[in-house]
Amino acid sequence: MNRLMSVIDGLHDEMTASLQELVRIPSVSPKYPGVEYKDHVGREGEATALLTDLYRRAGASVDVFAVEEGRDNAVGRIAGKGEGNSLIFNGHVDVVPGGHPAEWTKAPPFSGEVIGSRMYGRGTTDQKSGLVAQAYAAIALREAGIELGGELQLQCVVGEETGDHACGTGAVVERGYVADAAVVSEPSAPPTPLSIVVASPGLLWFSVTVEGKKVHGSMRGATIHPTQPGDSIGVNAIDKVFLVYQALRALEDEWAHTQRHDLWYNGHFSLLPGAMRGGPGELTVPFALSDSATIEYGVMYHPERSAEDVMAEIQAVIDRAADADPWLRNHRPRCEWKLNWDPFVTSPDDTISQAVAGAYRTAAQGTDFSDQPSYTGLYGVCDATVFTRTGVPSVVFGPGDLRVAHGNDEYVDLDEVWLAARTYAVLATRWCGTASPVS
């Protein structure tokens, strides 16, 4: 094992350079809300091409394919030379938009600039660093002369940021690329760097829309004062949608007490009012009462609950809020359910969980990191769901921290990338076995 660790250590600078090159490709998901598809399609394919070269350097035969033109996935297969378990290393090349460059204070969003031990740029944490670490783990195995007993698959996919599984990991699985276990290289902090993630919440996206009654803004007082005609003149939809907001906010507070799990802090499961629209028709001036108001919600729900159960609870809360208001009682709020992303759960005692823990212990020895593995729940959602749904036990383990993902000045600690690569390499030798002893 010392020989393998030495090879990875010698690849540190190359690994950093490859990550920098990958970050400089602005592979924004072309289906991300608010972006023009035609302006971004094809950039994921450019990122996949870079990783394909790394997979071939590792000795893999590579299958490059796309469900939508320009959105290439790649699966590199390193055939086993004997008896052993098969293993998938998976990650996504698509990223969210970089935002306004002026709001980045350390470096431009697609620069990959290195400052101290950190690399800055969109996708550094989420999650190009994990993909590069997995690729270099495989390269190190080859350069150390290690032949695995079971097959190792290196998968880079598109579409994860929008839940577009049919174009990404779902398409890979449908093409027949499954294994005895999978490790998804999403950032697995917080709470600590390189935790082993054995579960995720579920995610729901829905909108709730409330109807109002448009009238000139000077009529505001006449619509709300108890001595005046009220809703016979007009109704401000923004006022009414806040009744729904307040009811859902109370539900969120209730969840902090009733929806608890040992892998997350109390209050993690939540209902985020992440976007809002309202106004008189298409106008955005405050001179008329709004005839429509919509709030878009992102819901993180407990992994032991079904989406149907959560949806029913939310709908019941909205219905009670409507029943308590004379206007909403007869003008019911409308919910549109747009996305469900199921949770995944793998026991910490599962063989793949324990294998990652053992590999981490070995890889972290003699480093500045703790060599004691920690288990956690992912704060967000990821493609491990796709694997577990098809019977492939999966965990998340990767460099980076979700607390800086999708934000300005996103970065990754390069020492974490290095330690992740060491861990992946050790894991592959132990999970897949080797054709000859590893020195």
* Mean pLDDT, residues 93-105 taken together: 97
> Is 382 in a helix, a strand, or coil?
coil
Angle between helices 307-323 and 237-258 (to 10 degrees): 130
The answer to whether residue 308 scores a pLDDT higher than 70 is: yes
> How much of the chain exceeds pLDDT 70, in percent?
100
For 2-200+344-432, CATH number out of 3.40.630.10, 2.60.40.10, 3.30.1360.170, 3.40.50.1820 equals 3.40.630.10
DSSP string for 236-291: -HHHHHHHHHHHHHHHHHHHHHHS--TTS-TT-SEEEEEEEEEESTT--SSSB--S
Kind and range of the H or E element at 5? helix 2-10
CA distances from 242 to 90, 209, 263, 314, 322 (A): 42, 11, 33, 15, 11
Is residue 74 classed as helix, strand or coil in its secondary structure? Answer: strand
List, for residues 6-46, the tens digit of each pLDDT value. Answer: 999 999 999 999 999 999 999 999 999 899 999 999 999 99
Mean pLDDT of all residues belonging to the chain: 96
Give mean pLDDT, residues 108-127: 98
Could you tell me the end-to-end alpha-carbon distance of the chain, in angstroms, rounded to an integer? 5
Is residue 418 within 8 A of residue 15, CB to CB? The reply is: yes
**Within 10 Å of residue 258's Cβ, how many Cβ atoms?**
10
CATH of domain 202-341: 3.30.70.360
Domain boundaries defined on the chain? 2-200+344-432, 202-341
Residue 88's contacts (CB-CB under 8 Å, 6 or more residues apart) are: 153, 155, 177, 178, 179, 181, 182, 183, 387, 392
Q: For the segment 49-80, what is each residue's pLDDT rounded down to a tens digit?
A: 999 999 999 999 999 999 999 999 999 999 99
Query: Which 3 state secondary structure label does DSSP give 90?
Result: strand
**pLDDT tens digits, 352-397:** 999 999 999 999 999 999 999 999 999 999 999 999 999 999 999 9
Give the residue numbers annotated as catalytic, written as ranges: 94, 161
Whether a cis peptide bond, with omega within 30° of 0, leads into 127 is yes
As a whole number of angstroms, the distance between CA 239 and CA 103 comes to 33
* Cα four-point dihedral sign 339, 405, 193, 133: positive
Phi, then psi, of 38 in degrees rounded to 5: -65, -25
